[in-house]
Amino acid sequence: AQSVTQLDSQVPVFEEAPVELRCNYSSSVSVYLFWYVQYPNQGLQLLLKYLSGSTLVKGINGFEAEFNKSQTSFHLRKPSVHISDTAEYFCAVILGANNLFFGTGTRLTVIP
């Protein structure tokens, strides 16, 4: 069963426009949720994470995400994107045995 679903494989957006990258998870127990960014031929960099507490989580580079338990979602948002935000974005969840399970990724392309 898919633990993390990223419905959008590619998201093109114009520079300075807002963006939302969607992530839904499937779990009936408490989860830890993450967003990572991957630039070409590089490893992953943590953008933000939700462990507990406030459902609105702010991360690096101006990104934020909101944990919505009723909708089992953890969408990533940024009010104004830059060219440098062009990258692959992965939503991930920790379930049970402390292993990270990743979504299939969303390629964000910022158009000048």
Partner 1 sequence: GAVVSQHPSRVICKSGTSVKIECRSLDFQATTMFWYRQFPKQSLMLMATSNEGSKATYEQGVEKDKFLINHASLTLSTLTVTSAHPEDSSFYICSAAQPLRYTEAFFGQGTRLTVV
Q: What's the chain's Rg over C-alpha atoms?
A: 13
Between 43 and 112, CB nearer to partner 1: 43
Per CB under 8 A, does 101 bind partner 1?
Answer: yes
Per CB under 8 A, does 36 bind partner 1?
Answer: yes
Q: Looking only at residues 3 through 32 of this chain, which bind partner 1 when binding is defined by CB under 8 A?
A: 32
- Applying CB under 8 A, the span of 13-21, 22-30, 71-79, 103-111 interacting with partner 1 comes to 103-111
DSSP label of 94? E
How far apart are alpha carbons 9 and 29 in whole angstroms? 27
Provide the greatest CA pair distance for the chain: 43
Structure tokens belonging to residue 41: 């031929």
Question: Site residues (CB under 8 A) for partner 1?
Answer: 32, 36, 41-46, 49, 51, 90, 94, 98-105, 107
